[in-house]
A and B are shown apart, each in its own frame.
Chain A
């Protein structure tokens, strides 16, 4: 009886759309359990902080050395970029160039706490503590300071589900910051922890360490879900074969999905004007 009931639930919830009655009930149920989850998180917080402090002390020396090197390299990079940016702005003004949506200018930020961390070997999702009450909708992009986290895949009254970049169902158009090579970032079917940048032709000269960012394309009738120039990761390895017209590129995500405590949901500015 219970097995049949479970199968019925599974079938109905699988077949209905994300706005269907079962999903709505799930949204209300998730909101109802939210206070208990928040209390459990509050209780766990001092222990997590204690572990974090000890771990931080043990790794601080190595991390400090690494950070100093990185800082030096970023300072040089920043100087180069400032020159390039000034040049680009000047050229764009001359050409009346029109952009696709850009982060952070074209979005409002909703800072939210992570209620349930990413779990399991199959589905890479998190639950956050904001939903319709903060005007969050399905497909809204989610980021942190380090880069792209994922997109909203289900919304309840006060909670939402975020499908992470590391989930097998996720895909986003992306490009190599240095070469401009465009492709699609997705999770490989093999279940590896790294991402792959697909559909990049073999004539593109990519290198290990290249930054991969969202391309944020826009056409007259539709546009990418994600704003342009949000960091996704760095190329960790690549290979070319004679039989494949595309390069096999592996991308190490910049965001550590296992330790997300808070994220930023991006709400497009233009939606608030045209939305209900």
Chain B
């Protein structure tokens, strides 16, 4: 229960800050995606179920507060949270580079996914503007954000398995 409350507080704060501070923090035409970085961090730390739930809640809150297309950010962040969580539970487990790799890949997939959904619902989807204009700046800013955000999230919600207190077991044979 404490974990859910802590996660909800982090997601709420991130959605508010994304709509006020971080949308204004831009490089080229790309702006920093604090919400995406927070979802990636939570998913890596606490697994796919919490990652997907946090992604859904974060997206819904963001779409509501900014009058966005309801469901669009939720869909993309749910998938982002789930996939990152699965990566964290399997291949990326205990890898130091996992947060950086995850945020880089997910930023690209998130933007391309948004482009695809917009194209499918008949809204303007400028591929060139995204790839040449927004994506490089957003990728760089998200990579700069991931380290401090990951550390803060780890302090707040801990890492999956930390609470067990069991030492790591390695098969040497």
Bound complex: CA A105 to CA B59 (Å): 42
> CB distance A119 to B21 under 8 Å?
no
Residue of B31, B78, B111, B115 touching A119 (CB-CB under 8 A):
B31
> CB distance A10 to B16 under 8 Å?
no
Closest Cβ neighbor of A162 among chain B residues: B67
Bound complex: CA A95 to CA B157 (Å): 75
> CB distance A29 to B71 under 8 Å?
no
A208 within 8 A of B: no
Residue of A30, A115, A187, A192 touching B20 (CB-CB under 8 A):
A115
B39 within 8 A of A: no
Bound complex: CA A271 to CA B101 (Å): 55
> CB distance A127 to B79 under 8 Å?
no
0/1 interface trace, chain A 23-34, chain B, CB 8 Å (1 if under): 001110110010
> CB distance A2 to B124 under 8 Å?
no
Please give, as numbers and ranges, the residues of chain A lying within 8 Å of B89 by CB-CB distance. Answer: none
Residue of A2, A26, A48, A118 touching B70 (CB-CB under 8 A):
A26
> CB distance A33 to B71 under 8 Å?
no
Bound complex: CA A108 to CA B153 (Å): 48
Closest Cβ neighbor of B60 among chain A residues: A9
**DSSP class of B's interface residues: helix, strand, loop or mixed?**
helix
A73 within 8 A of B: no
Closest Cβ neighbor of B125 among chain A residues: A122
Bound complex: CA A203 to CA B133 (Å): 35
> CB distance B26 to A258 under 8 Å?
yes
Interface residues of B in 85-128 (CB under 8 A from A): 111, 114-115, 117-118, 121, 123-128
Residue of B60, B61, B67 touching A156 (CB-CB under 8 A):
B67
Given contacts A40-B16, A168-B124, contact A8 B129 (CB under 8 A): no
Please give, as numbers and ranges, the residues of chain A lying within 8 Å of B125 by CB-CB distance. Answer: 122
Please give, as numbers and ranges, the residues of chain B lying within 8 Å of A123 by CB-CB distance. Answer: 68-69, 123
Please give, as numbers and ranges, the residues of chain A lying within 8 Å of B15 by CB-CB distance. Answer: 33
B64 within 8 A of A: yes
Nearest chain B CB to A115's CB is how many angstroms away?
A: 7
> CB distance A120 to B64 under 8 Å?
no
Residue of B24, B60, B65 touching A37 (CB-CB under 8 A):
B65
Closest Cβ neighbor of B19 among chain A residues: A116
> CB distance A44 to B20 under 8 Å?
yes
B144 within 8 A of A: no
A154 within 8 A of B: yes
Bound complex: CA A36 to CA B123 (Å): 30
Interface residues of B in 1-51 (CB under 8 A from A): 12, 15-17, 19-21, 23-24, 26, 29-31
Nearest chain A CB to B88's CB is how many angstroms away?
A: 18
B130 within 8 A of A: yes
> CB distance A37 to B19 under 8 Å?
yes
Given contacts A8-B71, A37-B19, contact A30 B65 (CB under 8 A): yes
Residue of A3, A33, A169, A192 touching B16 (CB-CB under 8 A):
A33
A121 within 8 A of B: yes
Instruction: Give me 28 A-to-B residue pairs in the complex whose CB atoms sit less than 8 angstroms apart, sorted by A's number.
Output: A2-B55, A6-B56, A6-B59, A7-B75, A9-B71, A10-B69, A10-B117, A14-B71, A27-B67, A30-B66, A33-B15, A33-B16, A40-B21, A48-B24, A118-B23, A119-B23, A119-B31, A122-B114, A122-B115, A123-B69, A127-B67, A159-B67, A161-B67, A168-B124, A189-B124, A191-B129, A191-B133, A193-B29
Give 5 new A-B contacts, CB below 8 A, not counting A41-B20, A122-B124, A191-B130. Answer: A6-B59, A6-B71, A36-B12, A40-B21, A119-B66
* A contact set with B: CB distance below 8 Å: 2-3, 5-14, 22, 25-27, 29-30, 33, 36-37, 40-41, 44, 48, 115-123, 125, 127, 153-154, 156, 159-161, 168-169, 187, 189-193, 258
